[in-house]
Amino acid sequence: MSAGESQQAVVDSVTGRPIPLPGNDIDTDQIIPARYMTAVTFDGLGQHAFQDLRFEQDGQPKAHPMNDPRFRAKGPRVAIVNKNFGCGSSREHAPQALWRWGVHALVGESYADIFFNNCVAMGLPCVTMSEAEIERLMASVNEDPDHDLVVSLATMMLTYRHQSYAIEMPEGARKRLRTGAWDATGQLVQALPQVREIAGRLPYVQGFRS
Amino acid sequence: MGKSLLDKVWDLHAVRELDSGQTQLFIGLHLVHEVTSPQAFAMLREAGLDVPFPDRTFATVDHIIPTDSQARPLRDGQAEVMLTEIEKNCRRHGIRFFDPASGHQGIVHVIGPELGLTQPGMTIACGDSHTSTHGAFGAVALGIGSSQVRDVLASQTLAMARPKVRRIEVQGKLGPGVFAKDVILHIIRILGVKGGVGFAYEYAGSVFDAMSMEERMTVCNMSIEGGARLGYVNPDDITFEYLRGRPYAPPADRFEEAVAWWRTVGSDADAEYADVVRIAASDIAPTVTWGINPGQAIGVDAEIPDPSSFDKHERDVVEDAYQYMGWHEGDRIAGTKIDVAFIGSCTNGRLSDLREAARVAKLGRVAPNVKALVVPGSQDVARAAEAEGLDRVFRDAGFEWRLPGCSMCLAMNPDKLQGRQVCASSSNRNFKGRQGSPSGRTLLMSPAMVAAAAIQGVVTDVREVLGKGNA
């Protein structure tokens, strides 16, 4: 399964190694600086995820979880974040960069609106837990990061090192992911006859001809 | 119980409820630019989908366009590829593209309103978070990502959950030297950068009633900086008079018909709100950000707050901001040395912004060692400003008068900070690295305050500069 490639895939659970990305109000300019957006595709964004937090301007790595050998496992990852993750610019480049770096799910205290929507629209689940539970999970991960973390949208439980955590997600988003309807286009296009009907009723679309 | 504008406009545009509980919402106006649309057009091609309502989408180029020369090919090869791509996509689908040759190119949130495309009661979407700007007209205007740009292109609709509405009332009269920018920075400072998540902000009260459309746009523009995906002002005579005679506004013989409908979409007097916040205009001073998000702001005459004065949830971000910005305990924002002054952006790149900045620029010259840029928001703004001689005022004072674009607001073009430069900026985001240098520092403020900082070389209370000018 890969966002944008295998459309209409059901996202019922994600299993991957944890990667903590702590901090409140992490904006999408941090996730992917604008200078990497002069391109007509999302290709290659993964290597620049969190570029300026991960690397000095001369390319020397900085202390950042994504550079930490303890979190360098291969394969899909589940990012652990704090409050208001993904605020600021609407750039879908941000979740695309995370996805292409390997993040296949996020668990955090809260997300910015547009970021959350963008993630659902590409089949990338963002679930939430309380501050205390995130703290407990981060501590468990920091103690021993070398296990798979499982996010289940079926049971709305997260498990790590035999510990369970209750997770939350707005029901609509959960349903879209679980039924594979996270890519809304097909469904929206189906209703084109009704769309034309609504357009026909709107005075401004009709040029205010009464 | 009455309805809010949000609810009325939402209901008028609801195609159907989806299984997910979201609404399939008809989008009356879709605006696209070169950064977030090429991926959407590519997805459309891959899915073999068409654009059924090409005359409801309008495009321009703003983020990557250089402000010194728009000569083709653009010097940056990748920027040229992006410009060529949006040209091709618009041509292929029959979408009107306001390119530099059209005479109407500019920042997407400047040209939509000035062309009369943005109107009350509409739903508006654009792959850009500052789409909230258009709410100034009493529209429901939503910033979206590229996958949703694809959805609008393919179906003229979006799958969206209806937000709650918070009414923000600002009553009273703004003091001299206090602008719309100060009002919205003050609001974000009070409600926080995540306070608006899940909300639409309805701006109401005598302060907004008295504002021009351009001032209302400045306020609505930064709704997203407070976490609110959209913000709006109920339409009134100021709105209608602004629209009269604009190229895409209803023509004279149907204008009154339009006004009659526009009057119906405003919030009812007895509308119900999820929340109401009241703010006194007299509490608002010329405001400057000192940190790394737009909520970290203070009055220009205040001391930078002590990190220990914040609760534990804010403290990490505050300490990070202190370190990044290089503050020391007891520092004041006034007197902070600047290297660059930037006047422009979708927040403050309109004619009235340039007029206010020029009023200050007239009183001095750009300080030595300060690079000062004035970037009009659009070709129309540039022409109007030049007709008034504002370009001369700025040039005579030592500012550079540039071509329209997003410029140094996000630096996806040659206009960038260098190293740890400090920029007094009329833009909307002071995020780390936002203005093109990973260690560059941004102080957000009104255009008049930027002009004052430019001529003094340090952050200055514009009231003092204007006071001297009047004496």
Q: What is the pLDDT of residues B237-281, one digit of tens each?
A: 999 999 999 999 999 999 999 999 999 999 999 999 999 999 999
CB contact under 8 A, A113 and B229: yes
- Nearest CA to B216 out of B276, B255, B170, B282 is that of B170
Domain count, chain A: 1
CB contact under 8 A, A29 and B434: yes
Domain count, chain B: 2
Residues B405 and B342: their CA atoms lie apart, in Å, by: 12
pLDDT of residue A210: 67
Range of the domain at B300: 287-470
Q: What is the pLDDT of residues A31-84, one digit of tens each?
A: 999 999 999 999 999 999 999 999 999 999 999 999 999 998 889 999 999 999
> Do B121 and B199 lie in a common domain?
yes
Q: What is the pLDDT of residues B130-189, one digit of tens each?
A: 999 999 999 999 999 999 999 999 999 999 999 999 999 999 999 999 999 999 999 999
CB contact under 8 A, B148 and A29: no
Calculate how close chain A gets to B471, using CA atoms only, in Å. 42
Chain B residue with CA closest to A121: the answer is: B147
pLDDT of residue A4: 43
With H, G, I as helix, E, B as strand and everything else as coil, classify residue B50: coil
pLDDT of residue B469: 60
- B104 domain-assigned: yes
- B274 domain-assigned: no
pLDDT of residue A132: 97
> Do B20 and B168 lie in a common domain?
yes
Q: Can you give the length of chain B in residues?
A: 471
> Do B249 and B333 lie in a common domain?
no
What is the average pLDDT across B378-393?
A: 98
Q: What is the CATH number of the domain that holds B367?
A: 3.30.499.10
Q: Assess whether pLDDT exceeds 50 at residue A1.
A: no
DSSP for B241-309 reads HHHTT-TTSPPHHHHHHHHHHHHHHSPPTTB--SEEEEEEGGG---EEE-SSSTT-EEETTSBPPPGGG
> Do B253 and B358 lie in a common domain?
no
CB contact under 8 A, A91 and B254: no
> Do B91 and B155 lie in a common domain?
yes
Per CB-CB distance under 8 Å, the chain A contacts of B39 are 40-42, 92
CA distances from B303 to A150, B277, B290 (A): 47, 26, 10
CB contact under 8 A, B78 and A34: no
Residues B363 and B398: their CA atoms lie apart, in Å, by: 12
Per CB-CB distance under 8 Å, the chain A contacts of B26 are 195, 198-199, 202
Per CB-CB distance under 8 Å, the chain A contacts of B257 are 203, 208, 210
CB contact under 8 A, A188 and B13: no
Confidence at B350, pLDDT banded by 50, 70, 90: very high
What is the average pLDDT across B364-387?
A: 98
- A4 domain-assigned: no
CB contact under 8 A, B64 and A38: yes
Q: Assess whether pLDDT exceeds 50 at residue B305.
A: yes
Mean pLDDT (chain B) is 97
Chain B residue with CA closest to A89: the answer is: B129
Structure tokens at B124: 């508006």
- A202 domain-assigned: no
Confidence at B91, pLDDT banded by 50, 70, 90: very high
Best probe of the A interface among B15, B46, B55, B244, by most A CBs < 10 A, is B15
CB contact under 8 A, B36 and A34: no
Structure tokens at A75: 């394969």
pLDDT of residue A3: 45
> Do B304 and B431 lie in a common domain?
yes
- Nearest CA to A111 out of A181, A24, A195 is that of A24
CB contact under 8 A, A92 and B410: no
CB burial of residue B228 (10 Å; 0-12, 13-18, 19+): buried
- A200 domain-assigned: no
Per CB-CB distance under 8 Å, the chain A contacts of B225 are 88
Confidence at B1, pLDDT banded by 50, 70, 90: confident
Q: Write the CB contacts of B312 (distance below 8 Å, at least 6 apart in sequence).
A: none
- B112 domain-assigned: yes
Q: What is the pLDDT of residues B51-84, one digit of tens each?
A: 999 999 999 999 999 999 999 999 999 999 999 9
Report how many Cβ contacts below 8 Å link chain A to chain B: 214
Calculate how close chain A gets to B214, using CA atoms only, in Å. 22
pLDDT of residue A135: 97
- Angle among Cα B289, B290, B292 to the nearest 5 degrees reads 90
Residue B419 has phi, psi (to 5 degrees) of 50, -135
Residues B6 and B139: their CA atoms lie apart, in Å, by: 8
Q: Are B320 and B433 in contact (CB under 8 A)?
A: no
Q: Write the CB contacts of B184 (distance below 8 Å, at least 6 apart in sequence).
A: B218, B219, B221, B222, B223, B225, B226
Range of the domain at A152: 13-181
Chain B residue with CA closest to A95: the answer is: B145
CB contact under 8 A, A40 and B38: yes
How far out from the chain centre does Cα B7 lie? 24
pLDDT of residue B311: 87
Which is more confidently placed, A85 or B314? A85
Of B147, B156, B410, the CB nearest to A118: B147
Three-state SS sequence of A111-176:
ECHHHHHHHHHCCCCEEECCHHHHHHHHHHHHHCCCCCEEEECCCCEEEECCEEEECECCHHHHHH
Burial string for B110-149 (b: 16+ CB within 10 Å, else e) reads: bbbbbbbbbbbbbbbbbbbbbbbbbbbbbbbbbbbbbbbb
pLDDT of residue A8: 65
- Angle among Cα A129, A133, A137 to the nearest 5 degrees reads 105
CB contact under 8 A, B412 and A38: yes
One-letter amino acid for residue A123 of the chain: G
- A153 domain-assigned: yes
Best probe of the B interface among A43, A90, A201, by most B CBs < 10 A, is A90
Calculate how close chain A gets to B202, using CA atoms only, in Å. 17
CB contact under 8 A, B16 and A191: yes
Mean pLDDT (chain A) is 94
Calculate how close chain A gets to B250, using CA atoms only, in Å. 7
Instruction: Report the 10 Å Cβ neighbour count for B390.
Output: 24
- A209 domain-assigned: no
* ipTM computed for the complex: 0.94
pLDDT of residue B470: 57
Q: What is the CATH number of the domain that holds A177?
A: 3.20.19.10
Q: How far apart are the first and last CA of chain B?
A: 53
Instruction: Report the 10 Å Cβ neighbour count for B54.
Output: 17
- A201 domain-assigned: no
CB contact under 8 A, B42 and A172: no
CA distances from B347 to B103, B131, B342, B360 (A): 21, 11, 12, 19
Q: Assess whether pLDDT exceeds 70 at residue A7.
A: no
Of A40, A173, A195, the CB nearest to B15: A195
> Do B380 and B417 lie in a common domain?
yes
Lowest mean pLDDT among A140-154, B99-113, B259-273, B300-314: B300-314
- A102 domain-assigned: yes
Q: Assess whether pLDDT exceeds 70 at residue A106.
A: yes
